[in-house]
């Protein structure tokens, strides 16, 4: 048999099959919900940069970066469309992935630059183990390899002069207790008794733990990520591994619209409520969510785990912060934009409906290509089988010219 020709046909078949698989993976077919009760959503983000100033605005690397949602045990992510194209992908020190979009170097006065991303996400609920204080392990059972999650770093520099009083408070709350779950319960109750949630301030910037709780004597104020940062500072200072996890609670009931950064940033968000909570390591169960605002109850602090948003809601997980000072980064970006002529309009939505408009034509084109590819695959398969049958009938003649035969 002519091996070169057969290999070529096989390669063509494999290539077409790959095209079909790629097309199928990008089509908006519904994922069966019976297996794991997965639900399909679409996340759409559009950002418009407008230069209303009198001079050029140079795009920094931070301006070009867009977060890439990662696959986890509770979410499967597929990027359907990005405009402009992804130039490269960066991974920060906490493991977050960022797509650098191919923006121009600068934007002139009066110009607009638009970036858009559409992502398909399959989500399922997180399954938590049954926990109890009596079954909890002790601090001495925490693996040594998790010590990097107890470091005094990022937002929670508990050994600094400005946060030392928080570490002292944590030591007082802990006392001589070594039961990890009971220590967490005590600290959750401590913060819940002293920190109020700032209702009506959805677009407030993040703050440091010493701003959330200004002193041991005063009551404080802070939203989900602020209270989480305070709890992480306390937990780390006594040796309990923890970090901040952020994500969007998916629900059509959530909607946010308003401006911040002195009017330089306008946010219009539908179908998602962005949230932050603590992930703490508790032996023997491992990492557990500790939610200071969604599941908190003054009567039962452990509801912060069992009734947390992470345990009861579909969540699109986003950034994880372990060592990055995200407060300083946010403030630096805010000051840069406020002191420029750039204005940013951010429009995002999570829904079960595949985005319409120009994407309908793209979907039709993809389906047409799929049909053509399938037809070509069948034709080539028929041709290959026909050739194989013909060669089998002439095997005794083919072997006379087979290079493998001496």
In SS3 terms, 110-171 reads as: CCEEEEEEEEEEEECCCCCCCCCHHHCCEHHHCCHHHHHHHCCECCECCCCCCCHHHHHHHH
Per the document, the length of the chain is: 406
| 107 falls within a domain | no
Note whether 16 and 147 are same-domain residues.
no
Handedness of CA 192, 198, 202, 208 (dihedral sign): negative
Q: Which of 289, 309, 328 is the last residue of a domain?
A: 328
> Is there a single domain that holds both residue 251 and residue 291?
yes
Q: Is residue 369 part of a domain?
A: yes
User: Residue 138: its pLDDT value, please?
Assistant: 98
Shared domain for 294 and 385, answered yes or no, is: no
Q: In terms of residue numbers, what domain contains 239? A: 133-260+269-328
| 267 vs 21: CA distance, rounded Å | 37
Separation of alpha carbons 123 and 35, rounded Å = 12
Q: What pLDDT shows up at residue 355?
A: 75
Nearest to 153 by CA among 334, 331, 321, 332: 321
Torsion angle of the four alpha carbons 207, 57, 101, 317, in this order, in degrees rounded to the nearest 10: 20
* 379 located within any domain: yes
Are 274 and 371 found together in one domain?
Answer: no
Residue 184, burial from CB neighbour count under 10 angstroms (0-12, 13-18, 19+) = buried
Instruction: Write the DSSP string, 77-91.
Output: EEEEEEES-EEEEEE
Looking at the structure, tell me whether residues 279 and 377 fall in a common domain. no
Beta bridge partners of 316: 248
Cβ-contact 281, 149 below 8 angstroms:
yes
pLDDT at 211: 97
How many folded domains does the chain comprise? 2
Beta bridge partners of 321: 244
Same domain, 321 and 365: no
Dihedral class, residue 130 (left if φ above 0, else alpha if ψ from -120 to 50, else beta): beta
Taking the mean position of all CA atoms in its chain, how far away is CA 235?
24
User: Residue 202: its pLDDT value, please?
Assistant: 79
188 found inside a domain: yes
Residue 103 lies in a domain: no
Report if residue 190 sits inside a domain: yes
The answer to whether residues 324 and 361 belong to one domain is no
pLDDT at 366: 53
Q: Is the CB of residue 53 less than 8 Å from the CB of residue 109?
A: yes
> Which residues, at least 6 apart from 388, have a Cβ–Cβ distance to it below 8 Å?
1
**Do 282 and 228 reside in the same domain of the chain?**
yes
The predicted structure's pLDDT at residue 203: 86
pLDDT in tens, the chain (406 residues): 443 333 444 444 444 444 444 444 444 333 333 335 999 999 999 999 999 999 999 999 999 999 999 999 999 999 999 999 999 999 999 999 999 999 999 999 999 999 999 999 999 999 999 999 999 999 999 999 999 999 999 999 999 999 999 999 999 999 999 999 999 999 999 999 999 999 988 788 999 999 999 999 889 999 999 999 999 999 999 999 999 999 999 999 999 999 999 999 999 999 999 999 999 999 999 999 999 999 889 899 999 999 999 999 999 999 999 999 999 999 999 999 999 999 999 999 999 988 765 444 455 455 556 656 666 777 776 676 666 666 555 544 344 334 444 4
Domain check: are 196 and 309 in the same one? yes
Give domain status of residue 118, yes or no. no
Residues 301 and 386 in one domain: no
pLDDT of res. 219: 93
Q: Are residues 17 and 152 in the same domain?
A: no
Give the torsion through C-alpha atoms of 56, 61, 63, 65, to 10 deg: 150
Residues 143 and 219 in one domain: yes
Q: Which of 328, 344, 375 is the last residue of a domain?
A: 328
110: left (phi over 0), alpha (psi -120 to 50) or beta: left
pTM above 0.85? no
- The CATH number of the domain holding residue 138 is 3.10.620.30
Q: Is the dihedral of CA 183, 185, 188, 192 positive or negative?
A: negative
The whole-number pLDDT of residue 400 equals 34
Question: Is residue 41 in some structural domain?
Answer: no
> How confident is the model at residue 392, as a pLDDT?
56
- 154: alpha, beta or left? (left if phi > 0; alpha if psi -120 to 50): left
């Amino acid at each position: 048999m002519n091996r070169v020709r057969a290999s070529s046909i096989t390669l063509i078949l494999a290539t077409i099959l790959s095209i079909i698989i790629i097309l199928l993976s990008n089509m908006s077919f519904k994922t069966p919900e019976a297996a794991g009760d997965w639900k399909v959503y679409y996340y759409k983000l559009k950002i418009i940069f407008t230069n209303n100033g009198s001079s050029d605005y140079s795009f920094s690397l931070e301006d070009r970066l867009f977060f890439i949602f990662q696959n986890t045990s509770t979410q499967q992510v597929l990027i359907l469309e990005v405009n402009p194209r992804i130039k490269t992908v960066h991974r920060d020190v906490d493991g977050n992935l960022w797509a650098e979009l191919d923006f121009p170097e600068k934007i002139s006065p009066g110009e607009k630059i638009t970036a858009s991303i559409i992502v398909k996400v399959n989500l399922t609920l997180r399954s938590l183990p049954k926990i109890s204080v009596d079954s909890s392990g002790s601090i001495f059972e925490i693996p040594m390899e998790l010590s990097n999650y107890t470091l005094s770093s990022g937002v929670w520099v508990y050994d600094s002069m400005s946060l030392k009083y928080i570490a002292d408070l944590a030591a007082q709350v802990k006392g001589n207790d070594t039961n990890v779950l009971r220590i967490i319960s005590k600290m959750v109750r401590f913060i819940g008794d002293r920190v109020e949630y700032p209702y009506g301030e959805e677009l407030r910037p993040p703050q440091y733990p010493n701003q959330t709780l200004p002193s041991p004597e005063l009551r404080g104020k802070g939203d989900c990520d602020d209270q989480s940062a305070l709890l992480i500072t306390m937990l780390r200072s006594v040796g309990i591994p923890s970090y901040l996890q952020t994500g969007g609670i998916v629900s059509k009931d959530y909607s946010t619209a308003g401006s911040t950064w002195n009017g330089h940033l306008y946010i219009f968000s539908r179908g998602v409520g962005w949230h932050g909570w603590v992930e703490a390591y508790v032996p023997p169960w491992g990492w557990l969510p500790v939610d200071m605002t969604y599941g908190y109850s003054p009567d039962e602090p452990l509801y912060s785990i069992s009734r947390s948003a992470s345990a009861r809601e579909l969540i699109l997980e986003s950034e994880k912060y372990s060592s990055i000072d995200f407060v300083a980064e946010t403030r630096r970006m805010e000051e840069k934009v406020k002191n420029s002529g750039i204005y940013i309009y951010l429009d995002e939505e999570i829904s079960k409906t595949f985005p319409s408009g120009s994407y309908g034509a793209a979907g039709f084109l993809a389906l047409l290509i799929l049909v053509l590819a399938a037809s070509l695959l069948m034709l080539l398969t028929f041709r290959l089988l026909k050739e194989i049958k013909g060669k089998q009938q002439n095997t005794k003649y083919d072997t006379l010219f087979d290079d493998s035969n001496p």
